[in-house]
Structure 1
């Protein structure tokens, strides 16, 4: 299977070339059909090999980081199966929401409830004290 088609490559490269830091929507989801590893990728560096996104190797600690496309293409698991692209994946949220949901779940998830919970937690202001209480303590 071709992991990154020409169209996907163009979108990933455009995201990678963005001059301002942007919370991109994932462009592609890759996964190990015989294991728990999953990648939600948003960017490709100009080198054509370094991908960036949410990486989950199945150890309950997904994290943002980079991965080599050449390495992903070279992986062969049981029965000679390689990494595959989720042909039905359509990102509904920016990467930050998938990241927050993965931290809650311990793995990359597409569960609607968790994604909405993560989106709500990101959009709500984070303050240890309500504004009135903070003013009273001064």
Structure 2
């Protein structure tokens, strides 16, 4: 799977030119065989260094940098690798995802919490 389309790369690079901004995540990567998840908001001009929220599935999601090349080089059983969630659409700035992930101990749990809260605000039950 191609981890970044040209459009996603352009959006991440544009965000990278606006430091100290609480960007909405552009892309979500995940381990299809585990709990690791990454939300990226920015790409450095080197084309490899991403900034965002990383969760390796051990209960302590962190804001920081990670490398696209490292994600792309990970080889999992059955010939799988890290994938991009093609259906992911962020609804909140990264800080909101980080706060929710820290509350429940994982990015996916935080996304679930926010999705439930968003539905409640819209009147969904």
TM range (shorter): 0.7 to 0.9
Q: Secondary structure at the match of 1:41?
A: strand
Give, in whole Å, the separation in 2 of the partners of 1:74 and 1:53: 19
Alpha-carbon distance, 1:113 to partner: 4.6
User: Given that residues 8 and 27 in structure 1 are in contact (C-alpha distance below 8 angstroms), is that contact kept between their aligned partners in structure 2?
Assistant: yes
Call closer, same or farther: CA 1:6–1:78 in 2, change over 3 Å.
Answer: same
Give, in whole Å, the separation in 2 of the partners of 1:57 and 1:15: 24
Counterpart position of 2:71: 72
1:1-138 → structure 2 map (5 Å cutoff): 1-18=1-18, 20-109=19-108, 110-113=111-114, 116=117
Alpha-carbon distance, 1:43 to partner: 0.2
Query: Which 4+ residue blocks in structure 1 deviate beyond 3 angstroms?
Result: 112-117
Unaligned runs of 5+ in 1: 118-138
Unaligned runs of 5+ in 2: 119-125
TM-score by length of 1: 0.80
User: Given that residues 49 and 68 in structure 2 are in contact (C-alpha distance below 8 angstroms), is that contact kept between their aligned partners in structure 1?
Assistant: yes
Alpha-carbon distance, 1:112 to partner: 4.3
CA RMSD of aligned residues (A): 1.6
Alpha-carbon distance, 1:111 to partner: 1.4
User: Given that residues 100 and 113 in structure 2 are in contact (C-alpha distance below 8 angstroms), is that contact kept between their aligned partners in structure 1?
Assistant: no
Alpha-carbon distance, 1:21 to partner: 1.1
